[in-house]
Amino acid sequence: MPHKKEGIKDELYGDEVREKLLEFAERGWDSIPEDEREEWFTRFKFWGIFHQRSGQESYFMLRLTNCGGVLEPGQLRAIGEVARDYARGPVDNPEFGNGWIDLTTRQSIQLHWIKLEDVPEIWEQLESVGVSSRSSGGDTMRNISGCPVAGKAEEYVESRDLLDEIEADIRGDDALANMPRKFNISVTGCRQGCAQDSINDVGLEPAHKLIDGAEVEGFNVRVGGGLGGREPRAARPLDLFVRPEQAKETVRAFVELYFEEGNRVNRQKNRARFFVDEWGCEEIRAALDERLDFALERAGTDFRGEYTYNAGKPAERGAHDHVGVYDQRDGNNYVGLSVPVGRLPAEEAIELADLADEYGSGEIRLTRRQNPLIMDVPDEDLDALLSEDLLEIHTPEPSPFAQGGMACTGTEFCSIALTETKTRMARMLRWLQANVELPADVDRIKIHYSGCTADCGQAMTADIGLQGMRARKDGEMVEAMDVGVGGGVGEEPSFVDWVRQRVPADEVPGLIRNLVEAFAALRGEGQTFREWVDATGQENLITLAEPEETSYEDPWMHDAKQSWYPFDDGESPAPTAPDGTPLSADD
């Protein structure tokens, strides 16, 4: 029997949800029948509208989409203005204040504290500059990942037009809106591997093949990658090479296969990675052969040996991310800024848009590591841009810990998270920078923090991965973390090995310090953290990763999941009217 959510989606899903959502917005939060709210919240997600969590009734998160991370001139400014005017909650965050945007690990943006009644006007403002929230959540194809500098920097095979075609013709097809579960697509034509094909449901990676005596550029195809639930999978090769003109239909064929044959009964086992487990790559390849109207070629030679993006290789081998100043192929530059944990106040987002207009083309691009890039900066304007005050805050030359830090939403807004993440991580990164000395040749330590095992913060792919848990300390329930080491994507993707479980949150910075200091003292010459982890072995790592109380004080040790908001001791003001005043619970 199909899962109950399939019945909900069968009744109404996809593009048709928009009209009903607008009707509810016009009538207000309390027009949604209480006994039907979960069904409507399931449908709203297709349009990027996520109810936040218990205690925050009438408040929503809005997730946007921008294929491959591209924000065209004017788009970031519009998003920043919406955040300034509408993404404001009843209390301040102690680290970030009120009114900000969150940059995501799929190269897009989320806004919080959105009132349902404001959605029509927000959509009008965003869509007037070409920004959409369609298909950004729920059981559908999510924002498509690509090399954030596709079309601007060197690529072995051009990918920007292909990304846009997949966006318009496949992800834009409402007939494919109702997938068995969320589905991630990535395409990259560069040699760095920055679209992270290893952790996507279907990924195209650049490759070449000798066909009829001529070298042909194209893509190899991988399927079934993903994180979450402590059951990660690296995407597996289909032994399939496609030319650029064949790539879009190949992606469509796999999307349609999963759409038709994917498990719609068990939501714990119906992501595409489990579908690939069940079918196997040979059977999937045979099914694609039946669906495609061209003869399939065996895989070509890929460039995985050259992958450097979050690959655990020495910095001199190539960029680990896009933070810094880099050449574009047209002679201009792009400047990648560091936004630790991906949270950017609305005023700074607007200022960033102004700087992009003043010094570049106005275009901003986003990376999978929650950072923005200012594009198309001429050489003669580079020094002036680098001297701007905003680049002191979000510098292209951050500290090693800030450059490697990422975090998901956490209990601040997420209903399934077990711990607070972003605010804690921001403070932890500062403490580590002030208290841990790294070797001069180590320019980043990647620490990723996920509030639960769903792993939206990609802890499984980090040098040091943190996942939220709870534990008892001194007789009280406190926020805690499991700590793993040795993750990374690249030529040989690996996921962290867990070395400590349920470490109280105030002892985690000490654990990290002990581990990193051991790395600094014991590493071989030029050895990266991941290389050292591989050489050291788990048993020794467990000994070295000793939890410890330190000068770091964690102000949010209490079990924040039980409160309406981690940073407020009072009662929840929700639900509230459009003007923010509480709504009466009386009939």
Point out the residues that are catalytic.
63, 181-182, 451, 456-457
* Backbone conformation region of residue 289, classed left if phi is above 0, alpha if psi is from -120 to 50, else beta: alpha
| Dist CA 254 CA 252 (whole Å) | 5
Residues 250 and 240 sit within 8 Å (Cβ to Cβ)? yes
The DSSP bridge pattern shows strands 364-366 and 70-71 to be: antiparallel
Count other Cβ atoms within 10 Å, centred on residue 249.
16
Q: How many CB atoms lie within 10 A of CB 570?
A: 10
Q: Which residues contact 505 (CB under 8 A, 6 or more apart)?
A: 419, 424, 478, 479, 480, 481, 554, 556, 557
d(CA 275, CA 263) in angstroms, rounded, equals 7
Residue 175 burial by CB count (10 A; 0-12/13-18/19+): exposed, middle or buried? exposed
User: Quick one: which of 320, 362, 257, 546 has its CA closest to 446?
Assistant: 320
Residue 303 neighbours by CB under 8 Å, 6+ apart: 156, 191, 193, 205, 206, 207
| Beta strand 70-71 pairing with 447-450 | unpaired
Q: What is the largest CA-CA distance in the chain?
A: 78
